[in-house]
A = this chain, B = another copy of it.
Amino acid sequence: MKLSIENWRVLDGAGNFIALDGNDRGLAYGDGLFETMRIHDGRPVWWREHWQRLARGADVLGIPSPNEAAIAAHTLELIAGRSQGVLKLVLTRGVGGRGYAPPMPAQATVVLSWHHLPGPEPGDGLNLRWCQLQLSEQPVLAGIKHVNRLENVLARAEWSDPELHEGLLCDAQGRLVSATSSNVFVHLDGRWQTPRMDRCGVAGIARDWLLKNIQDAVVADLTRQEVRSSAALMVCNSVRGIRQVRRLEAQVWPTSPAVIELRRLLALAEPAFARSP
């Protein structure tokens, strides 16, 4: 479905309308960042956290941070009258000539786009697979949500079965990193553990929320075998919140009271996640 132009805006970093340029470095090199926010009751959920991650990524890439107030105003204008959905923000280094050298100073481009909520998922948990693709390690880019996402695209292209909801990704050493568009928590040795995001992967906003709100959650290296022997498994992202994994290939987990309790806590903090979309 092609979205109409009503559903997106192209702005400069100050919030002025601009035309999307064929020489934008976002298109040329994936030279940019993005955020995907849940819109609930007409407001972006976790705006502050998304903006902080965007600013952190802009700092890593050396892209000037856009004016938050101006972009927030455009966001509210774009989502006005739309209660539930998803707002995507892409920030690029803007127009360049040719060549990798970043223009100095760069004039950032911001693309805001409105999207419908994704379709519903089964209430009793997700059905996952292991992806074949192994994520590469790049500590300089790890954690930030940059737009060099061909690995995620290729991993997600490994299946088309709508009954399969997510795929788990490991690095070349066989360590769990994440799912294609979610972070993963594994209940192991009596506590929740989630992979480090300092070699590859994206440090998700929902992951941050869980790390802050689960008393004894830890960041750890996790093998495939540890995932298989876990008492419970959940995935999270800022569009869908927390979801339990019911099945991973041949293995099935029972409903976890711990995940139900975390979902209840998250829904109290952010009512958007009271029901899974």
Q: Which of these, B21, B29, B149, B160, contacts A29 with CB under 8 Å?
A: B149
Cβ contact within 8 Å between B31 and A8: no
Q: Does A95 lie within 8 Å of B2, measured CB to CB?
A: yes
A20 in contact with B20 given A147-B29, A153-B29, A172-B137 (CB within 8 Å): yes
* Contact between chains at B156 and A102 (CB < 8 Å): yes
C-alpha gap A29/B20 in the complex (Å): 16
Copies of this chain, whole number: 2
- For residue A14, CB closer than 8 A to chain B, the reply is no
Is A184 an interface residue when CB atoms closer than 8 A count as contact? no
Which one of A25, A92, A93 has the highest number of Cβ atoms from chain B below 10 Å of its Cβ? A25
A26 on the B face (CB < 8 A): yes
Per the bound structure, the CA–CA distance linking A90 and B26 in Å amounts to 12
Quick one: closest B residue to A239, CB to CB? B98
Chain B nearest CB from A77 CB (Å) reads: 15
Question: A271 within 8 Å of B by Cβ?
Answer: no
Cα separation A151 to B146 with both chains bound (whole Å): 11
Q: Are B111 and A27 in contact (CB under 8 A)?
A: yes
Contact at A22–B34, with CB atoms within 8 Å?
A: no
A154 within 8 Å of B (CB atoms): yes
Which of B34, B113, B154, B200 is in CB contact (< 8 Å) with A61?
B154
Taking a contact as CB atoms closer than 8 A, the residue among B30, B34, B200 that contacts A148 in the complex is: B30
Q: Is A99 an interface residue (CB 8 A)?
A: yes
- What's the Cα separation between A3 and B95 when bound, in Å? 9
- Given A1-B97, A141-B150, A149-B100, also A34-B23 (CB < 8 A): no
CB pair A152–B27 under 8 Å, yes or no, is no
Check A181 against B136 for contact (C-beta < 8 Å).
Answer: no
Separation of A181 and B24 alpha carbons in the complex (Å): 18
A93-B153, A102-B153 known, 18 other contacts, Cβ within 8 Å: A3-B21, A8-B21, A8-B23, A20-B21, A28-B88, A28-B147, A30-B149, A30-B150, A31-B150, A31-B153, A61-B154, A98-B118, A99-B181, A100-B155, A100-B157, A136-B137, A136-B200, A140-B154
Could you write out 16 A-B pairs with CB less than 8 Å apart? A2-B23, A10-B22, A27-B92, A27-B111, A28-B149, A29-B150, A31-B150, A31-B153, A99-B118, A100-B156, A100-B157, A101-B157, A102-B156, A136-B136, A136-B138, A141-B151
